[in-house]
Amino acid sequence: MLLNQSSLNATKTIDLSTFAGSDGDSNFFPKHLAREDNIKFLARLSDAFNASPRLVLAIGGRVEFINQLPVGYASFLRPEVYEDGQRVDRFVYGHPSGLSFASLVAFAEHVLMIMKKEVKDCACVNCQGAPVPAPRFSAGFHELE
């Protein structure tokens, strides 16, 4: 795809929930944590995305994420205790590995692959660090017949 400077300067308004290729799974949402407001989260995610020249180039311009996260993903508020006190950190849940994203930059990488419909080839930390899923137990053990 050829890109000219004007297309790179234009901001694309994107609703991530409209992309069919999301691998998010709301079964991994924590039940005891409060959700972060979507609009605030999407503003932070847009900033993280636009701060990466590589991501901006990959999608062909700056982005303004609106409305919703990719289907099956949500940001949650998680209180953490540090040496200098307690604060609330924010984590994105829904990755099929069950891992949460602590980093907006890492999640932005994953979002890029959802938008490109190439999430199976994603190189983000959670896709690369995902443990091999344990085999599901069958109904029982059967002797070889």
Where do contacts with Zn ion occur on this chain (CB under 5 A)? 110, 122, 124, 127
Token duo for residue 45: 């995610």
Nearer to Zn ion, 4 or 116 (CB): 116
Nearer to Zn ion, 21 or 60 (CB): 21
Smallest separation (angstroms) from Zn ion to the CB of 125: 8
The DSSP-derived string for 30-68 is -SSSEEPPHHHHHHHHHHHHHT-HHHHHHHTSEEEE-S-
Give dist(CA 16, CA 13) in Å, integer.
Answer: 10
Give the strand pairing for 85-93 and 74-82: antiparallel
Q: Which residue has the tokens 């992309």?
A: 19
Smallest separation (angstroms) from Zn ion to the CB of 47: 20
Nearer to Zn ion, 30 or 129 (CB): 129
Nearer to Zn ion, 5 or 26 (CB): 26
Smallest separation (angstroms) from Zn ion to the CB of 113: 6
Smallest separation (angstroms) from Zn ion to the CB of 100: 13
